[in-house]
Amino acid sequence: MFSFQSKKIYLFMFMGIQLVVIALLSREAYKKRVTYFIPILRKDNASIPTGRNQTSTAVVANGGDVYANLSRLSKAHSQGENLTYCPKTSPLIGGPIHVSFRSGLTMQEVQRKNPLVVRGGRYRPPDCEARHRTAIIIPHRHREHHLKFLLYFLHPFLQRQQLNYGFYVIHQAGNYTFNRAKLMNVGFREAMKEEDWDCLFFHDVDLIPEDDRNTYMCDTNPKHAAIAMDKFGYKLPYKMYFGGVSALSPLHYLKMNGFPNNYWGWGGEDDDIGVRVSLAGMSISRPSLKVGRYKMIKHKLDKGNDVNPKRFNMLAKTRQTWKQDGMNTVEYRVISREYHPLYTNITVDIGTEAGLPPPPPPPPKAAAMSATQKV
Site residues (CB under 6 A) for ligand BGN? 237, 243, 267-268, 270-271, 311-312, 315
Residue with smaller CB distance to ligand BGN, 269 or 325: 269
Residue with smaller CB distance to ligand BGN, 240 or 334: 240
Residue with smaller CB distance to ligand BGN, 40 or 184: 184
Residue with smaller CB distance to ligand BGN, 155 or 224: 224
Cα distances (angstroms) measured from residue 58 to each of 38, 42, 64, 128? 9, 10, 8, 25
In the bound complex, what is the minimum distance in angstroms from residue 194's beta carbon to ligand BGN?
A: 29
Q: Exposure of 181 by Cβ count < 10 A (0-12 exposed, 13-18 middle, 19+ buried)?
A: buried
Residue with smaller CB distance to ligand BGN, 164 or 308: 308
In the bound complex, what is the minimum distance in angstroms from residue 189's beta carbon to ligand BGN?
A: 23
Residue nearest to ligand BGN (CB): 267
Rounded to an integer, what distance in angstroms lies between the CA atom of residue 114 and that of residue 91?
Answer: 19
Residue with smaller CB distance to ligand BGN, 70 or 205: 205
In the bound complex, what is the minimum distance in angstroms from residue 303's beta carbon to ligand BGN?
A: 18
Cα distances (angstroms) measured from residue 201 to each of 10, 133, 153, 198, 342? 74, 11, 15, 10, 17
In the bound complex, what is the minimum distance in angstroms from residue 139's beta carbon to ligand BGN?
A: 13
Residue with smaller CB distance to ligand BGN, 85 or 312: 312
In the bound complex, what is the minimum distance in angstroms from residue 178's beta carbon to ligand BGN?
A: 13
In the bound complex, what is the minimum distance in angstroms from residue 159's beta carbon to ligand BGN?
A: 29
| Contact between residue 86 and residue 122 where contact means Cβ atoms under 8 Å apart | no
Q: Which of 56, 210, 215 is nearest to 130 (CA)?
A: 215
In the bound complex, what is the minimum distance in angstroms from residue 247's beta carbon to ligand BGN?
A: 17
Residue with smaller CB distance to ligand BGN, 124 or 180: 180
Residue with smaller CB distance to ligand BGN, 171 or 180: 180
Other C-beta atoms within 10 Å of 161: how many?
24
In the bound complex, what is the minimum distance in angstroms from residue 312's beta carbon to ligand BGN?
A: 5
In the bound complex, what is the minimum distance in angstroms from residue 311's beta carbon to ligand BGN?
A: 5
